[in-house]
Chains A and B, each alone.
Chain A
């Protein structure tokens, strides 16, 4: 039945000297952090450095050997674990949607256990599906295995939000997605973050993602918290070599001057191309069927621009042609220098561009993606 609402908002989360050992090895060694309400803190660091362990201590999936964790000055060890967890959303890379439940049942499960009535649950599920850009009438009654990875991850987020928890823990939520989809979901997440107005603790391996999403970034290494600060602080005053090597992108960009677009092109797959005369309705179903978020609009052979699935879903007039909703994006020849192209894109705020070969569309350029490739 209904569990207590422990906190309506987060004022502070404090870890004080938290330590956890497995056998003789530290998973977390004397970690202290202060997180303010409404912040998005990113944890980044090498594999096995203790990020997941830290995260899972906050909802008591793991209990510390020593040290205390306070939320709004309450020691979480004094709170009932089930109630605590219903006040904290949890999203993981492997998602873990229950295969025996429909999407609606997955999202509504905890609400049902809380004793909400059918109507209230249904409304909440519809609202959340809409919030993560999945048409609710299409997805409510499906089973998880009928969804693509990206769609499942959206449902995973919706499920974590069902009790409107003031705190969200996200462990590499986009880690398993392919680069184009990951970029898209990062972008969407970035936009809904404001609307969410939640305190979020987010683990990633992707420094670009960290810079893009995080208010502050916490760097972990070998069970210790090495440094926490804003992107600028970390870049300009790294605590040690290791931090510098994670955040210092400038060194790695030295050879950027010589790179050409063709070195970092994401090749075009023809499933992305849609004819401009298509109406929105059919474009939506085609894109959902192909599990793509962005479509290239062409008139016969020439690319005009792109349309995004979330934008199409929001259109009222589903009869109109997609050619009327095209967003123009820059296009570059594949032999152009990467640095100058990126500058142009940055100036106009574009997140993608067409790459042309002999006057024909041959691929895309995603600056963020290009960065990660250069860094990686």
Chain B
């Protein structure tokens, strides 16, 4: 028997790990993305590297952290960050840098300074892309946070793995179903916000 209490405490652990890594990813990614804007080489390298890293299976990333940092909560956080940072940086950078040049010319023409251009032209233009990056990162993090239970992060994954070892279906479901519900709930919320942010993109 899996008690409700067990499920709730594991869900809470999972959510802490997910939200914490999501917020850290955003905090690290944004300055890097804005920095890339003023250093084209860096931007180029990040985009290329993000594309390459995207192809590497999450399990390989999680495993490789073990020899470097051992197991536990913090190695799990690092493993997740390794996967989640690049998509956000890349999307933000692309959003900020692909602005209609005529719009930039116009902004220049009416005498906006670099900061104002960023604030009033580039940023609003980049919202949809930034948001898509964050949504993507969330889906990724929610998945890996289950896997990282394998290297001792705790959370819902722990229930699943315990269930797998003991052939205990109840435990497996107790871990899997909340994780799925979280994913779907966040997807719905994100989609709502996304639509609010980009009214002019809807037909």
Report if A and B touch in the complex (beta carbons < 8 A). no
